[in-house]
Homo-oligomer: A and B are copies of this chain.
Amino acid sequence: MALLIRNGEIVTASTRAIADIRCDGETITAIGRDLEAPAGAEEIDASGKLVFPGFVDPHTHIHLPFMGTFAKDTYTTASRAALVGGTTCFIDFCIPERDEDPRVALETWRAKSDGQSACDYSFHIAVTRFDDAVADALREIVREGITSFKVFLAYKGAFGIDDEALYRTLALARSLGVLTCAHCENEDAIALEQARLLAAGETGPGAHHESRPPIVEAEGVHHLVTFAELTGAPVYIVHLSCAEALDIAVRAKHRGVAVTVETLIQYLLLDKSWAERPNFEGAKYVMSPPLRDATNQRVLWDAIRHGAIDVVATDHAPFDFADQKTMGRDDFTKIPNGIPSLENRVELLYTHGPAAGRIDLHRFVDVASTQPAKRFGLFPRKGSIQVGSDADLVVWDPARRRTITASEQEMNVDYNPFEGFEIVGGADVVTVRGEVAVRDGAFVGTIGRGRFVAREPNAVG
């Protein structure tokens, strides 16, 4: 297998040059002018196009069991969706039941993914209980290349952990060089607010964000960074949604705490009024943290530009409107949380980021590919276009235009939260380790080509 991409404008997080890219086997072997094609190489003309490293989504929930149902996408449908959207690698959250051995949960996740994916993937392992047995299991899991933990400060009674478990998880993570992801909302506060709202008859989707206001997320972030500072462990704040939480995270960075901040594409483009749409339409926009006041969007974009936010991900969690979201028709607390966006993250970020002048192309690549790869130990295999890296490449046509619609999507879910959004640019060709998986914007890849990527622990406090 060999590939030569000619004359594209190669853009990484820091470089930008027109050149050819040669790939031998699965790997990039040279970048230069007028390179000779290897024998039998497929040649792709990228003149007038941009060439990006494959995008990395570090935050997905594929076929997640949640509230008695499952997120709809399988590794097959999710990976197809990822690839047509330019994402060539994602990291999925493996979440054990509270009393389950994490290794057993991991087997479940492996069973869902082995041979099912068209693109590469890795796992985070959630810590939903902490004792010596769990610690032993975690050490073994880290040795297998799953080098990031996840903790929930939210979801009372489901996945959340108490402060002792948090402290001990972080101490273990630090000793192993593992980065700990955290969902930062105070679970007890939310449960009580939910009860208060339901008791007051506020049962609709619009009550969801009322039950988890920005101060609850800010409190979660403050809690997390305090424990990070105490233990010296680096932490990764998932799905930060608002100025209040960002302010706490930034202050922590400024006093030397090792904090990485992730926001989601939806927080940059949607506000809470979407969750207040009539006829239960708002349920399509119920997620946690919830959508916020529109004023936060400018704050988040500024933070991406100047570096306070490091990563833009999806928290992809697709639930059908027709028969899943509707579980909460009479009680917003029963609406499965989450929206689909794995397929659309990159094109939305491109359209509203570099194409709109909010960030430059380097920062676009950085937050959607390079930083996720680096923070989670995928770099230099992923996240860059350089010699020796996996030939995960995206040939991007800035001249493409399209309108998002659920009717044309690869994601296995019956709606798209960005229905009708106009898009600028798009992926012409996407490769997975040197094999073309998307051509002219359509999936032409191979289910089963995608592989689990073992990662080295590389987190530094």
Contacts and interface: CB of A to CB of B under 8 A. Distances in A.
Contacts of A370: 14
A29 B17 CA distance: 11
A226 to B, nearest CB: 4
Given A188-B167, A230-B189, A389 B256 contact: no
A332 to B, nearest CB: 18
A347 B386 CA distance: 26
Interface residues of A, number: 63
Interface in A373-390: 379-380, 384-389
Nearest to A15: B386
**Total identical chains:** 4
A13 B366 CA distance: 11
A16 to B, nearest CB: 6
A189 B167 contact: yes
A307 interface: yes
Interface in A181-204: 186, 188-189, 191-193
A302 B303 CA distance: 17
Given A30-B35, A188-B162, A15 B17 contact: no
Leading 7 A-B pairs by shortest Cβ distance? A30-B32, A307-B307, A163-B188, A13-B14, A14-B14, A19-B387, A219-B226
Interface of A: 10, 12-19, 22, 29-33, 35, 162-164, 167-168, 186, 188-189, 191-193, 213, 215-216, 218-219, 222-223, 226-227, 229-230, 250, 253-256, 298-299, 302-303, 306-308, 357, 362, 366, 370, 379-380, 384-389, 460
